[in-house]
Amino acid sequence: MLLDSLADAELRTAADELAQVIRLAAHHASPTGISADDHGMAVGGDVSINAESGSLAGGVVTVEGGIELANPFEGPSRPQ
């Protein structure tokens, strides 16, 4: 109804703006359904975050499905 109520010049402007929105949405769409916001990481598989030599590593995850966590103290840098 809104588009029908616009004058020709306004209709062309609205059509250009809608086309831009569609291009942006297509650019940001993920064919796998996996997505991340700015400064995020999208992964469609396994992720391993490791800390070595007394360093600290971390990650924030949103899980759809299952998750499996490994023992963080396995290996040569295990605390005594």
Entry pTM = 0.36
Is 56 within a domain? Answer: no
Please tell me the predicted confidence (pLDDT) of residue 13: 92
Which residues make Cβ contacts (< 8 Å) with residue 43, sequence separation at least 6?
34
Is 52 within a domain? Answer: no
Is 51 within a domain? Answer: no
pLDDT at 28 exceeding the cut of 80: no
- Per residue in 6-20, pLDDT (tens digit) is 898 899 999 999 999
Number of domains observed in the structure of the chain? 1
Task: Give first-to-last CA distance, the chain, whole Å.
Answer: 71
Is 9 within a domain? Answer: yes
Cα 40-27-64 angle, rounded to 5 deg: 45
Is 25 within a domain? Answer: yes
Residues 59/46, Cβ–Cβ less than 8 Å: no
Q: Look up tokens 């004058």; give the residue.
A: 7
Residue 67, classed as helix, strand or coil, is coil
Range of the domain at 11: 1-30
